[in-house]
Amino acid sequence: MLSAQRPVVLLQHGGLDNLSGKTGLAMLRYRSGPIVAVVDPAHAGASVEAVTGIPRSVPVVPDLEAALAYGPEVAVVGLAPSGGRLPLEMRRDVVQALRAGLSLASGLHSRLAADPEFAAVALAPGQWIWDLRHEPPDLEVATARAAALSCRRVLAVGSDMAVGKMSACLELQREGQRQGRDVRFVGTGQAGILISGHGVALDAVRVDYAAGAVEAALLKAAEGATAETLVLVEGQGSLCHPGSTATLPLMRGSQPTALLLVHRAGQTHVRTRPGAVPVAIPPLPEVIAANEALAALARPDGQRPTVRAICLNTALLNEQEAEEERACLQALTGLPVWDPVRHGSSGLLAALN
């Protein structure tokens, strides 16, 4: 629904320098289309690169009124707050965006199109409100149809939630396109869908239809694909996390031909809510074995997909520490280990061939 060509303003209120703004930060790093302004009163006038480390030149302004001078056509909610509700401090700018004729895209659990204040604004022809966290219509139970595709399908699986599965896939897609290859991406979370313009919000789908929703999104993304096409499926959650159920429907729906394990360097326990009983991440060889065993089930083709490489998130380490951790995991698992943000993606992409 959000085409790559539409100029976007990110509503990033208070989230430009922390993980509450991870949706907008991901768009700043990976969206190929124009982002003409960022609204964040806390950092108005600052440099995006100085605040975030993302090498993108975008003006940071105090409010939506100031952003209008840059010609946006779509306002995107860049926050992913706990509970998924629209922050009160953002409401005024959302109303102003709609009154100015901008369309609105949101990955929050709050349904902005159903909000009385926003619904009261008369939309012009061609103007829309896209609440992407909706269950798609006409869903069916999965039937392993993706297994019949000739293209290669790589599913990113994680040792925990929020370790960089989407970033790994988008870095690989960027490298593949740089090499002139047909590399496609299936978004399964709000940021991935906003960046690519399509996909399925897996956490909005009833469990009985979750694998079917992934299957439908995969089949759509793979239209016209050949045996040389690589389809990257954004992972969600983790088998290691007690609150996550996402990995299994992703495996069932995508019928992957290979897996990519994503892990945060040095992390020993999954991240749960404050006060919860700590849950250890098993040794990575055990995590790999569990994912491979499950990915081999419920397949009509008899394939047994393996983890081909490890994407290592070393954002919290310096260069020497990152290299030591990479060498350690390579020795432990016998697999190629790379941080695509720090080391580039060519090695990872080669390992997935």
Torsion of CA 137, 142, 145, 146, to 10 degrees: 80
Check pLDDT > 90 for residue 264.
Answer: yes
Strand-strand pairing, 129-131 and 103-106: parallel
pLDDT band at 112 (very low <50, low <70, confident <90, very high): very high
How far apart, in whole angstroms, are the C-alpha atoms of residue 44 and residue 36?
14
**Which residues are CB-contacts of 120 (< 8 A; sequence separation ≥ 6)?**
none
Smallest CA-to-CA distance from 199 within 174, 222, 176 is with 222
pLDDT band at 86 (very low <50, low <70, confident <90, very high): very high
- Helices assigned H by DSSP within the chain: 22-30, 48-52, 64-67, 91-99, 116-119, 165-178, 190-196, 207-221, 247-254, 284-295, 319-333, 340-343, 346-351
The chain-wide mean pLDDT, for the chain, equals 96
Same fold, 8-131 and 145-351: yes
Domain boundaries, the chain: 8-131, 145-351
pLDDT band at 32 (very low <50, low <70, confident <90, very high): very high
Q: Is the pTM of the predicted complex or chain greater than 0.75?
A: yes
pLDDT band at 36 (very low <50, low <70, confident <90, very high): very high
Contacts within 8 Å (CB) and 24+ apart, 204-209: 204/133, 204/134, 204/135, 205/135, 205/136, 205/139, 206/135, 207/245, 207/249, 208/141, 209/135, 209/139, 209/140, 209/141
Report how far apart, in Å, the C-alpha atoms of 127 and of each of 23, 113, 137 are.
22, 12, 22
Phi-psi region of 339 (alpha: psi -120 to 50; beta: other; left: phi over 0): beta
Q: What is the pLDDT of residues 212-250, one digit of tens each?
A: 999 999 999 999 999 999 999 999 999 999 999 999 999
Give the percent of the chain with pLDDT over 90: 95
Check pLDDT > 80 for residue 25.
Answer: yes
**Region 39-68 average pLDDT:** 97
Q: For residue 267, with 0-12 CB atoms within 10 Å meaning exposed, 13-18 middle and 19 or more buried, which class applies? A: middle
Task: Supply the DSSP string of 87-138, one letter for each residue.
Answer: PGGGHHHHHHHHHTT-EEEE-SSS-GGG-HHHHTSPPPTT--EEE--SPPSS
Task: Supply the DSSP string of 236-250, one letter for each residue.
Answer: -S-TT-TT---HHHH
Determine contact, residues 163/263, Cβ cutoff 8 Å: yes
The pLDDT of residue 1 is 76
Q: What is the pLDDT of residues 275-317, one digit of tens each?
A: 999 999 999 999 999 999 999 999 999 999 999 999 999 999 9
The pLDDT of residue 81 is 81
- DSSP state for residue 151 in the 8-state scheme: S
**Region 55-84 average pLDDT:** 95
**Region 19-47 average pLDDT:** 96
Beta sheet of 74-77, edge-to-edge order: 60-61, 35-39, 8-11, 74-77, 103-106, 129-131
The pLDDT of residue 101 is 98
Q: Cβ atoms within 10 A of the Cβ of 109, count?
A: 17
Q: For residue 207, with 0-12 CB atoms within 10 Å meaning exposed, 13-18 middle and 19 or more buried, which class applies? A: exposed
Q: For residue 135, with 0-12 CB atoms within 10 Å meaning exposed, 13-18 middle and 19 or more buried, which class applies? A: middle
The pLDDT of residue 221 is 97
Determine contact, residues 231/66, Cβ cutoff 8 Å: no
Q: Look at the domain 8-131 and name its fold.
A: Rossmann fold (3.40.50)
Q: What is the pLDDT of residues 125-134, one digit of tens each?
A: 999 999 999 9
Superfamily for the 145-351 domain: P-loop containing nucleotide triphosphate hydrolases (3.40.50.300)
How far apart, in whole angstroms, are the C-alpha atoms of residue 10 and residue 236?
24
Tokens at 347, concatenated: 């090695």
The pLDDT of residue 83 is 76
What's the distance, CA 85 to chain centroid? 19
**Region 63-83 average pLDDT:** 94
Strand-strand pairing, 152-158 and 258-264: parallel
Check pLDDT > 90 for residue 19.
Answer: no
Q: Cβ atoms within 10 A of the Cβ of 66, count?
A: 15
